[in-house]
């Protein structure tokens, strides 16, 4: 099982990702905490759903690509010769962003853990 943890920075009212189990989960953590935060979930979600919005986009730290029914996330500033990519279905991508908006941004838990197991992303929160 792979995972990434997030902690609420009460002073700034935002999240930082910590303790990613691998590069793919680190990419997901950076994407959610730095690119989406709690300000932009709807625009990134719409990009994933709408084919008219293009096949590529970037955030502060993440490069996103559409490949058929998949979305690939990679580190925008990777120093790897062949950058590691997190591959998820469009449905998984939309669900992760939806869960982030509903379970994290709206409720502001102190800790969030996203687990990736058996091709599913599971978001758990703790206060």
- List the domain range (segments joined by +) for residue 77: 2-126
The number of folded domains in the chain is 1
pLDDT of residue 6: 96
Q: What is the pLDDT of residues 50-89, one digit of tens each?
A: 888 889 999 889 999 999 999 999 999 999 999 999 999 9
> pLDDT tens digits, residue range 21-55?
999 999 999 999 998 888 766 889 999 998 888 89
CB 24 within 8 A of CB 115: no
Question: pTM score > 0.85 for this model?
Answer: yes
Instruction: Give Dmax over CA atoms of the chain in angstroms.
Output: 41
What's the confidence (pLDDT) of residue 40?
66
Contacts of 18 (CB under 8 A, 6+ apart): 4, 5, 6, 7, 29
At 93-108, the pLDDT tens digits run 999 999 999 999 999 9
Residue whose tokens read 């990134």? 44
């Amino acid at each position: 099982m792979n995972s990434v943890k997030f902690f609420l920075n009460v002073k700034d009212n935002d999240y930082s990702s910590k303790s990613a189990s691998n590069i793919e989960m680190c990419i997901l953590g950076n994407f959610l905490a730095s690119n989406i935060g709690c300000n932009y979930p709807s625009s990134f979600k719409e990009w994933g759903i709408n084919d008219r919005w293009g096949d590529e986009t970037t955030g502060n730290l993440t490069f996103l690509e559409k490949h058929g029914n998949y979305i690939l996330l990679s580190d925008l500033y990777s120093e790897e010769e062949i950058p590691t990519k997190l591959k998820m279905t469009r449905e998984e991508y939309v669900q992760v962003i939806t869960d982030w908006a509903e379970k994290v941004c709206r409720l502001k838990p102190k800790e969030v853990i996203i687990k990736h197991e058996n091709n599913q992303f599971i978001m758990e929160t703790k206060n």
